[in-house]
């Protein structure tokens, strides 16, 4: 085959200078298409069927316990995660009889069962970190405590229609939020593992404590406050029991029992833990578009005590604090940024009024809705964490 003179010149040039043949970048692959969210019940069923039908675990009868499903960002249980758990139990009983569901307890854990963990997370379906969260990602992971391995995974995307992400009573009543190591390792175990991976030892070591904490949460939500407090105190005394959820439980149960001194001490314990970790996120709820707290005395009644403990304990530690306001994803960005600063300033004024010596050791700033944890913009109990105020330890 004869080549044209121009083609020969190009070929000779590439042979003489081989690097030129590599200067043309390879075409980039097309971006992956965003998953298509489907209605919530079908999404959960799809993820669960993948999980149980493909489980690489031996045995004709397998004990299964469910470590309660949580929100993948806040770590909270919600109306939806509770309903998901019940749906999973019903599906197993109907379609997967070799799995025998047992309560999440020390007795069941002693038999080295299969453990199901799961997260339910609001996401932007197109993967835009700053975009509105318009879908929910379901992640289910099955662990075999005998082999200490991940033996199955199931994932799906759900439409937001009909989803109730309102936190359950314990998490709704919690005065503050923190993703402590126990919660982080749970989320990592679900979302950051692949089939065949070893179970994180930190997760496995704290399973018995997690079962006690769950018992305490259920007793608290059943208004059995003495029993709840007993579970939290038992958990706190065990290795791995020094957890944020235990401190919160002790504060909540003591408050409900009218033990004011114990409640103050328990809240102070929460403050000390947050200051030690250089971050303290407190749920101070404001009226929409306002710098005033919501007009609900039942909710705001403990606020003065909270602020007093924060000011006192920060002063005792000689800590300087940045007070950071946040807002829900509602309204114009510039309006929310200004509002978040004003809310932080309002809280700082309250702190300094009660502790004049703290003047000069605090600054106020705002993030608008740039650091939303929930990000759905519903402005109700389901996204209360987005209207939080943070206290960050900074250099003086």
- The reported pLDDT for the residue numbered 266 is 96
Rounded (10°) angle between helices 181-191 and 244-256: 120
- The reported pLDDT for the residue numbered 6 is 43
Domains of the chain, residue spans? 40-192, 278-395
- The reported pLDDT for the residue numbered 32 is 64
N- to C-terminal Cα separation, the chain: 79
Residue 81 has pLDDT above 60, yes or no: yes
pLDDT bin (cut points 50, 70, 90) of residue 9 is: very low
CB 311 within 8 A of CB 351: yes
| Top-confidence residue, 60 or 113 | 113
Q: What is the mean pLDDT of the chain?
A: 88
pLDDT bin (cut points 50, 70, 90) of residue 118 is: very high
The region of weakest confidence among 6-20, 49-63, 371-385 is 6-20
Residue 341 has pLDDT above 70, yes or no: yes
- The reported pLDDT for the residue numbered 29 is 62
Distance of CA 148 to the CA centre of its chain: 24
Classify residue 265 as exposed, middle or buried by CB count within 10 Å of its CB (0-12, 13-18, 19+): middle
Distance of CA 248 to the CA centre of its chain: 15
Distances, alpha carbon 158 to alpha carbons 39, 52, 134, 137, 389, in Å = 6, 19, 9, 6, 30
Q: Which CATH class is domain 40-192?
A: alpha beta
Report percent pLDDT > 90 for the chain: 64
CB atoms within 10 A of CB 119: 23
- The reported pLDDT for the residue numbered 11 is 44
- CATH-assigned architecture of domain 278-395: 2-Layer Sandwich (3.30)
- The reported pLDDT for the residue numbered 168 is 95
Structure token digits, residue 341:
């600063």
């Amino acid at each position: 085959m004869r080549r044209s003179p121009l083609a020969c010149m190009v070929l000779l040039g590439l042979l003489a200078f081989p690097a030129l043949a590599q200067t043309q970048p390879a075409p980039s692959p097309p971006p992956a298409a965003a998953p298509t969210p489907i209605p919530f019940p079908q999404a959960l069923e799809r993820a669960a069927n993948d999980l149980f039908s493909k489980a690489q675990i031996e045995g004709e009868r397998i004990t299964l316990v469910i470590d309660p499903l949580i929100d993948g960002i806040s770590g909270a249980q919600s109306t939806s995660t509770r309903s998901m758990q019940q749906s999973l139990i019903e599906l197993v009983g109907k379609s997967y009889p070799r799995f025998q569901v047992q309560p999440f307890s020390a007795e069941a854990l002693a038999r080295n069962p299969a453990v199901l963990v799961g997260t339910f997370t609001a996401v932007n379906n197109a993967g835009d970190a700053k975009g509105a969260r318009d879908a929910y990602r379901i992640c289910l992971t099955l662990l075999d405590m005998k082999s200490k391995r991940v033996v199955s995974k199931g994932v799906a995307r759900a439409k937001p229609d009909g989803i109730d992400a309102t936190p359950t009573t314990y998490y709704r009543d919690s005065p503050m939020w923190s993703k402590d190591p126990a919660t982080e390792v749970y989320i990592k175990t679900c979302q950051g593992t692949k089939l065949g991976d070893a179970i994180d030892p930190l997760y496995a070591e704290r399973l018995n404590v997690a079962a006690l904490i769950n018992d305490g949460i259920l007793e608290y939500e059943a208004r059995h406050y003495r029993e709840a407090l007993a579970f939290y105190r038992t958990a706190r005394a065990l290795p791995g029991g020094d957890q944020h959820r235990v401190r919160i439980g002790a504060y909540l149960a003591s408050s409900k029992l009218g033990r004011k001194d114990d409640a103050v001490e328990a809240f102070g314990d929460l403050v000390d833990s947050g200051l030690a970790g250089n971050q303290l996120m407190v749920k101070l709820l404001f009226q929409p578009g306002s710098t005033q707290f919501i007009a609900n005395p039942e909710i705001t009644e403990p606020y003065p005590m909270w602020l007093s403990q924060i000011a006192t304990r920060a002063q005792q530690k000689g800590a300087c604090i940045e007070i950071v306001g946040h807002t829900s994803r509602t309204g114009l960005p510039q309006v929310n940024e200004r509002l978040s600063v004003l809310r932080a300033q309002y809280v700082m004024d309250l702190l300094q009024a009660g502790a004049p010596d703290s003047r000069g050791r605090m600054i106020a700033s705002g993030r608008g809705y740039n650091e939303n944890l929930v990000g759905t913009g519903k402005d109700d109990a389901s996204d209360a964490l987005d209207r939080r105020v943070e206290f960050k330890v900074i250099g003086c």
